[in-house]
Structure 1
């Protein structure tokens, strides 16, 4: 006789990754606990760049307005060369388009990202259990029994480690973490106020031998995030007096009111497997990056966004193989991101100005799962999109919405039907009652119908040239494209994604 389950999912780690996952699971009606061994929420600026694709995730969760209100745009860099300050644009500012409404990176200190997600969890009725760590766990075919630092034993159907680079979950699961850490390459990170320093620049003072000092203004505050490159074998003093003296010696500027310090070491690692039975890892527990390109937090949040709906579906009766696709979809993404951030960081070490540039790849809008287990390369496609591609936004009209992202918001699948034959098939398409629901929309040109393509941009953006069904996953990627045999093809999709 198996033990009863206290929970559906126990999440370890209440940073942006664990909090995103917990929020997504809660809106699916699942029983969740979120624990974190730290005594309180993180208080520093650490990962401060929220990429466009992550902003779309936050919009789906209903917290993007808060993020935009508390964040700001990245300023021009100001490279100090003696008495001269040279302006330098790290990334081109893009204009919003109907397909990509949030095209630019958002400057948002990590403590504020955490706070925004924690307020969301509070609204969803979840209390984060700070000061509670994971001592260990045992798993069997039916679930996981975790022992908490409080001595409590908790039974859950699944366990997810979002507990950072030193992940207890990863280590206890025996998952190999391939890569290296350069102990001689370290940077002192400090949040502080600096007197008389312009807040319209991300200031950089280059030094010799790869040394540098940087100061990025944090929005809606008097603070900057300072980055001070350390000598290989140096043990830095982190008290305010010592940090202030060091900064003044390097820049001639005075700082005060230090609120957070940390010594950063550039880990470059990726886990061999994202899953061990009923145990998963996400975010830094699965992959750690250099800070270049603002990729780590964003990749981790999207890990959670990918895993959440799959856990919900399997708990509702979908095939277990759906959970295997978490690794096969997300691991290649992390590997590419790891390579890109490492390349950028290496360029910074050599003081190449080109390495300060950021392009489209870092925005993560073009990420696709096409060719993976849920989106075969030989599947049907439209003129512009394939299964596995991101579902773009577009203006439309209907009951309570003005954009496709309004239509997609929520934990459900979405089905768009274009053309009279596809629309006529909608009522006959069966979808399971358990798990994520299905919203169906008949897309009509001009006014009228379930969804009115008033500008023609829905059909144009989605590359529609004839009768077509487009099924959108809960995480905003195309699940499948169907252009014939409506019922049989849709049944096959339902069996792959649902109970």
Structure 2
């Protein structure tokens, strides 16, 4: 038996665990990542990354590589009994909201490979074929046991993060239930090459009397992810041959090569708590729901982005209360997401006359009408892209200036040569001002060692609801912590004294005004 120490032990090396490890490592935190698998997944599994995830990738310097690996799509087509009945186009609807105004296909295996490579480049290698088998906690940290090929290692860490899926050992050890239920229906997922009426490069939703199909474009041409419902009474060992006729019904698709096929049940569950002492749960360990909306992997990555900088701040001497904000910020979103997808999914896949009427009557009638309204398409994009997610009730969220409130995602403001999001790559607290800054604000930033970025106040800033010459104290994850229309040094001091790390407070450095 050997012993080792680290600052954060991460159980699970899926996208959430790898992303958490990468962000922490970039902040100088020592991490250890263990996973019982032999390496990153080879199946496509989750397939979409949303705009908010791509913004996080940009912060870590992964954005260009992510965009080189996947493909965009901006249209959803609705077929009913083989006939095209409507479409929703997203092109142009989010051009002023995000540098990524589209929906994007980047599969789970691609995400894991990219994240693991960047983590290895920073000197951190995942302990594959290594399982966290248990741990105990005390006031100073956690002591965990890791097993690999019969060898046992004891690891002492300040914190443990459970990124280990729906059957999370970390969640089980701390006794936190994953509350919710499981749909009675069984579903299948297939990765295939297709021809036929299915439109290449678009998402295609197909409804019929007792069935639904969803076709998602994959990064490779003519390759699609197909999600469908298995007929009642289907044996547990069902093969692709059983569902192939359903996919090819009404001449909608012609199946070519099959790359992957699996059956599964869909759960709708959320952990009762996301934190227990020095243990945290993220991703599928904290919430599971239908994969059809393309939200699951993205929500786990959002969990990691939220927790990473907080762990780093506390480990570097910050207020331990910072970690208390993880659950109240992330769990309400998970609950809302599960409830929303549950209602929509039940309407689409349910049995009975009401569900049939919803599939064949309500959806085909309303979708073409609603799709004509830009406000509806914009709201749909904001929701799917997760750029609408905000934390208004968090203790970290204070004040408002213009239309921007504490807890809002920092609005994206492009300017000549870049945007205000470029400053977020520092992964640090920072102050933004638009159209000028009070000299006292520069003095405050110098005293606290916080960078000050001053941007022009033009049409883009005005549309975003930013107020000229106001101060926006921005968190490391790109959300506004404090928004102040007028300089109030006492309020800024009180906020910084509570939430900024002691390391920053103890060693302030001169910080220039950066005009963009």
User: Shared fold by TM > 0.5?
Assistant: yes
Matches within 5 A, 1:127-138: 127-138=125-136
Q: Report the counterpart of residue 421 of structure 2 in structure 1.
A: 405
Equivalent-residue separation in structure 1 for 2:127 and 2:478 (angstroms): 30
Q: How does 1:154-303 map to 2 (within 5 A)?
A: 154-182=155-183, 184-194=184-194, 199-209=200-210, 211-237=211-237, 239=239, 247=247, 255-303=255-303
> Does 1:476 find its partner at 2:492?
no
In 1, distance between residues paired with 2:256 and 2:404? 52
Contact 1:430–1:491 (CA<8 Å) still a contact in 2? no
Residues 175 and 118 of structure 1: is their aligned pair in 2 closer, same or farther, counting only changes over 3 Å? same
1:323 matched to 2:320? The reply is no
Q: Give the drift of 1:221.
A: 4.2
Task: Indicate the SS of the match to 1:6.
Answer: strand
Q: Which segment drifts farther, 249-258 or 8-17?
A: 249-258
**Aligned pair in 2 of structure 1 residues 326, 252: CA closer, same or farther (>3 Å)?**
closer
- Give the 3 Å change call, closer, same or farther, for CA 382–248 of structure 1 in structure 2: closer
Alpha-carbon distance, 1:215 to partner: 3.3
Mapping of 1:65-76 within 5 angstroms?
Answer: 65-74=64-73, 76=75
Alpha-carbon distance in 2 for matches of 1:430, 1:454: 23
Deviation, 1:32, is: 0.7
Query: Is the Cα contact below 8 Å between 1:395 and 1:454 reproduced in 2?
Result: no
Change (3 A) 1:171 1:414: same
Match of 1:38 in 2: 37
Alignment match, 1:446: none
> Are the equivalent residues in 1 in contact too, given 2:470–2:487 (CA < 8 A)?
no
- C-alpha displacement of 1:292: 3.6
Q: CA deviation at 1:488?
A: 2.1
> Within the alignment, does 1:384 sit opposite 2:384 as a pair?
no
Conservation of the 8 A alpha-carbon contact between 2:212 and 2:348 = no
Structure 1 pair 136–220 and aligned structure 2 pair: CA distance change class (3 A): same
Q: 1:339 to 1:168 in 2, by over 3 A?
A: same
Distance 1:429 1:80 in 2: 56
Equivalence for 1:362: 384
Stretch of structure 1 that moved more, 271-280 or 407-416: 407-416
* Aligned counterparts, 1:412-491, within 5 A: 412-417=428-433, 422-429=438-445, 438-441=450-453, 443=454, 452-453=455-456, 455=458, 457-458=460-461, 461-465=464-468, 467-484=469-486, 486-491=488-493
5+ residue gaps, structure 2, are 350-354, 372-379, 503-516
Report the Cα offset of residue 408 of structure 1: 1.8
1:4 is displaced (CA, Å) by: 9.3
Of stretches 354-363 and 172-181 in structure 1, the one that deviates more from structure 2 is: 354-363
- What TM-score, normalized to structure 1? 0.86
CA drift of 1:76 comes to 4.3
SS in 1 for 2:400: coil
Separation in structure 2 between the aligned mates of residue 214 and residue 95 of structure 1, nearest angstrom? 23
- 1:100 counterpart = 2:98: yes
Cα deviation, residue 256, structure 1: 4.9
- Residue by residue over 1:462-485, the C-alpha shift from the partner in whole angstroms, topping out at 9 and shown as x without a partner, is 5325x5321100011111123456
- Cα deviation for residue 389 of structure 1 reads 0.7
Cα drift, residue 274 of structure 1: 0.7
Instruction: Give the Cα–Cα distance (whole angstroms) in 2 for the partners of residues 269 and 246 of structure 1.
Output: 29
- Work out the CA distance in 2 between the residues paired with 1:30 and 1:49: 29
C-alpha contact (below 8 Å) 1:291/1:341 kept by paired residues: no
SS of alignment partner, residue 149 of structure 1 = strand
Output the TM-score relative to the length of structure 2.
Answer: 0.83
8 Å CA contact 2:3, 2:154 repeated in 1: no
| Conserved? CA contact 1:237–1:243, under 8 Å | no
Deviates more, 1:287-296 or 1:214-223: 214-223
CA shift digits 1:13-49 (9 cap, x unpaired): 1122111111110100110111212222112232222
Aligned-partner Cα distance in 2 for 1:213–1:463: 43
My pick for the range that moved more, 285-294 or 220-229, is 220-229
Q: Is residue 74–residue 90 contact of structure 2 (8 Å, CA) maintained in 1?
A: no
CA gap of 1:295–1:419, structure 2 versus 1, over 3 A, is closer
Check whether the contact 1:417–1:423 (CA below 8 A) recurs between aligned residues.
Answer: no
Query: Which deviates more, 21-30 or 69-78?
Result: 69-78
Which residue does 2:83 correspond to in 1? 85
Assess, with a 3 A threshold, how the Cα gap between structure 1 residues 101 and 428 changes in structure 2: closer, same or farther: closer
Displacement of 1:247 in angstroms is: 4.9
Question: Counterparts in 2 of 1:6-17, with a 5 A limit?
Answer: 6-17=5-16
Superposed CA offset, 1:241-286 (max 9, x none): 6665775578686545433222231111111111111000011111
Which residue does 1:374 correspond to in 2?
396
C-alpha change, 1:75 and 1:414, in structure 2 (3 Å) is closer
Equivalent residues of 1:396, 1:458 under 8 A apart: no
Unaligned ranges ≥5, structure 1: 444-451
Cα distance in 2 for residues equivalent to 1:19 and 1:439: 28
What does residue 123 of structure 2 align with? Answer: 125
Deviation at 1:5, TM superposition (A): 6.8
Superposed displacement of residue 461, structure 1: 3.1
